[in-house]
Amino acid sequence: MARLRPLLLLSLFAAAASAQWTGEGPYPNAKTGGNYMHNYYLPPASSTPWRPAFSPDGEEIAFSMAGSLWKIRIGETTAHELTAEPTVNSSPAYSPDGRWIAYTSDQGYKSINLRLLDLTTGETHALTQGEFVNLDPVFAPDGRSLYYVSTEPDGWYNLFRLPLDEAGNPGKPIRLTLDHDFHNARLYFGQADLHIEPTISPDGSEMILVSNRDISLGSGAVWRAKIGPNMMQDAEMVLREETLYRTRPQWSPDGTRILYSSHRGSQYNNLYVLPVKGGEPYQLTFGSWDHFEPRWSPDGEWIVYVSNEHGLSDLRLLRTFGGEEKRIEIRERVWKRPMGTLEITVRDGEAGPPTEAKVMLTGADGKAWAPPDAYHRVGIRALFPDFFHTTGTFRLQLPVGEAKLTVMKGFERLPVDRTVVIPDGRVARAEIVLERLTNFKAEGWYSGSDHVHMNYGGNLHNTPENLLFMAAAEDLDVVGEKIANKDNRIFDHQYWTGGYDEKRSTPERLLSFGEEYRPPFYGHINFINLTQHLLSPFTTGYEGTAIESLYPSNTDMFRLGRKQGALSGHVHPFPAVPETNDWANARGFPIDLALGSFDYLEVMTGAGYSKYSAPVWHKALNCGFRVTPTGGEDSISNLHWTPALGAARFYAYVGDKLEWSRWLDAIREGRTFYTNGPLVGLEVNGEGPGGEIRLPAGGGSVEVTANMQTAFPVERVELIFRGEVVKTIPLQNGGRQAFWRGSVPVERSGWFTLRAVTDEPVPPIDDANLHAETAAVYTLVGEEPIRSRADAEYFVHWIDEVTKLAEAHPGWRSEKEKAHVLGQFREARAIMEQRALEAKD
């Protein structure tokens, strides 16, 4: 067995970053939906079965798995691979005569095209080409046309009919729906209407589809329309409910019913049937897990669907009467190309036991791979790496040739980058040893993320135990899971137990269930240590609902949380310069800041946020507000497109033992630093982050000790005073270390932090750049408070602008509500005005 030892090759990593990172996100020619659409609608590169379809004779089921199309005969346990292409294949749709399968072909998360597989010859050819997204193929009953969804030509989702000749060659697409705008840019769904998920009547004359035309929330209602140009103009709505891309309706073979999946406001999706003319939905499945992707058998006697009852997805058969249900087990895979087996053991140190870790694995075919017992994920911040988590040992079949792995475990161990040759029909075994760069726990610093979601409508049925497993793989000591709404659903509320989950937490790792309160107007806020109850209604300001009002304010909710002993703060606050982005996301930040209603600011959600959030935090510090900086990546961990758990985190100094009360005290007292990779430390006259130094009137000098160490090289380490760089610390060891001790003159009250940054990505970290910064060490000169006239006036202007927006908001239920909230705005403005008057600059 080969033993693979760390060799970072960081210069090669950096070259790869500059070569592949363009700043462009996935699917640039799909202009609506964003990350939620990527997770809930676009076909995933799943390691387990997805998107099933019955063959016309009802004897076989085609599905996607491991980036390919597969089929399995009903009653058997051996699956056969149908395609083996460099693209990710999914969404199989049989032609009525069983000769063809149309399917989607995803090219590197940039475009999705349709292809056609000849089941007799095994050959495939293109049906669509280009840089757009093409989805949801379904044959017409006569087999001479294919209906599908496309974002061509302008990026919006519309329906098309593609004529096919006898050889399956495509004609010119015929557009069936036209662009249509809602009256505003809908929350999460955009201004342009969706026209998606078509299913065709048995006689070929009508279509059922999903569209959010004239609907403010969700991906849309279910509509019925005669097939033809501009068909939505006479379409009839047959089901009005708030959907989330999961509906996937299908017309029954007898033409009388629609089969579909729905959450109907609950946490989980179940299967329903509905008369094609509309009526009352009837529920077919029950359970506290999801039932996705339903499809009728040709005789209407069975339904195949995807279940995540056991976490990962599997295929189920449900008899339409009688209640019989069967799991389709896949015990053997017959591949279309030469394959071998890879077995890996990951160890923590030379003599250490197998350890949990994160793995990025690319096969000789250029595609990402994950074992069949692991959840295939994709990072979303900059480099879009495919990855999975391992318990320390894993085994999977791979194409013959060179397989490339990157294995890492948090920020305190050196990542390993390796190549293993996969032999034909045999097993390649290797051990990967992760070596420590440093051990911050030994110095009393523990890492955590307080912005994690466990379940949020994704493909995985997640559990607290799986969260803790992922935290171990990412070397994260504290996991702050957030119960939250997604539209009209509240996820994971049943897990709340008070302050933290003492039952599931261990001496090595703490787990808490708090809350993210998500009003789109004011900005989202988090609560840690709610001890009495969750705070409802979980959001305000949702158009077309009974909670459209801007009352209560975030200030009101912060105060309710504090009465329970909770800590709270604004999260993913600023993705752009606030004044250029309508003061979003954390529009209410200066009001809550002035009124002293919160404790921390999630500066590091990712580098794209910290770039703009850190300057706002600095302005708050310059006005004398002591705000603790934290980090939390907002990983929605049952989605596959999401940041890795702990990709943005913060460290807190708790001393020689990790305890919940100590963790809370560290946040409350500002003993933190945030990071997406580098590890930084700062002392001023022996005081660390959160500490305070007092100098006599007139000032003096302070002794500063600054250090940085990192497995991922940085470009600059900077000492900051009152928001300005006062010292650039020399780098050592190729940007992996920095240390400086020296004297700095201080003439006025202020604060110091230490920052480590790069300007570009540094693989394997999936972010636009590296950024770490300590919390402030406060330095007070005489009786002078920390003040900045310019920054206080900036916040006064901000409050004025938000007041105008709030006054014009249409959702207020009464003048009393409005007066209450605007009164808080005026109070906050007066405090900021006073801070400006107190400034000496």
Q: What is the 3-state secondary structure (H, E, C) of 264-287?
A: CCCCCCEEEEEECCCCCCEECCCC
Where does CATH 2.60.40.2190 sit in the chain?
2-23+337-434
As a whole number of angstroms, the distance between CA 689 and CA 673 comes to: 8
- Tens of pLDDT, residues 781-800: 999 999 999 999 999 999 99
CA atoms within 13 A on the CB side of 833: 8
Q: How many CB atoms lie within 10 A of CB 169?
A: 12
Beta bridge partners of 567: 528
Q: What is the DSSP secondary structure assignment for residue 232, as one 8-state letter?
A: G
The CATH architecture annotation of domain 2-23+337-434 reads: Sandwich (2.60)
Q: Is 494 helix (H, G, I), strand (E, B) or coil?
A: helix
Specify whether the CB–CB gap between 482 and 526 falls below 8 A.
yes
Strands 649-653 and 635-636: unpaired
Residue found under tokens 């509309």: 278
Q: What is the pLDDT of residue 351?
A: 85
The single residue listed with the structure tokens 């497109």 is: 641
Terminal CA-to-CA distance of the chain, rounded, Å?
68
The CATH class, in words, for 34-333 is mainly beta
Highest CATH level, class, for 677-786: mainly beta
pLDDT given at position 10: 31
**What is residue 20's predicted lDDT score, i.e. its pLDDT?**
36
Residues of the chain with pLDDT under 70: 1-23
Kindly state the DSSP code that residue 289 receives in the 8-state scheme: S
Q: What is the pLDDT of residue 9?
A: 31
Residue of 312, 805, 828, 340 whose CA lies nearest to 590: 828
SS3 315: strand
Alpha carbon dihedral 19, 23, 28, 31, in 10-degree steps, equals: 180
Superfamily of domain 442-675 in the CATH hierarchy:
Metal-dependent hydrolases (3.20.20.140)
- Rounded Cα distance between 99 and 683, Å, is 72
Residue 67 is encoded by which pair of tokens? 């980036």
pTM listed for this prediction:
0.95
Tokens of 434: 């992760």
How many whole angstroms separate alpha carbon 832 and alpha carbon 791? 9
Query: What pLDDT, on the 0 to 100 scale, is given for residue 509?
Result: 98
Cβ neighbours of 398 (radius 10 Å): 22
Helix/strand/coil for 442:
helix
Q: What is the CA 196 to chain-centroid distance, rounded? A: 23
Predicted pLDDT at 841: 82
β-strand pairing of 777-781 with 692-695: parallel
Find all residues with CB under 8 Å of 797, minimum gap 6, and list them: none
Which tokens belong to 251?
Answer: 């017309």
Res 160: pLDDT: 99
Handedness of CA 756, 760, 765, 766 (dihedral sign): positive
Token representation of residue 703 = 């002794």
- For 580, phi then psi, to 5°, come to -95, -5
- Please, are residues 677 and 762 in contact by the beta-carbon 8 Å criterion? yes
Beta strands in 366-500 (DSSP E): 377-378, 386-390, 393-399, 401-408, 416-422, 427-434, 445-453, 478-486, 489-491
CA gap 770, 647 in Å, rounded: 11
Task: With H, G, I as helix, E, B as strand and everything else as coil, classify residue 613.
Answer: helix
Phi-psi region of 153 (alpha: psi -120 to 50; beta: other; left: phi over 0): alpha
| 68-73, strands of its sheet edge to edge | 50-54, 60-65, 68-73, 78-81, 332-334
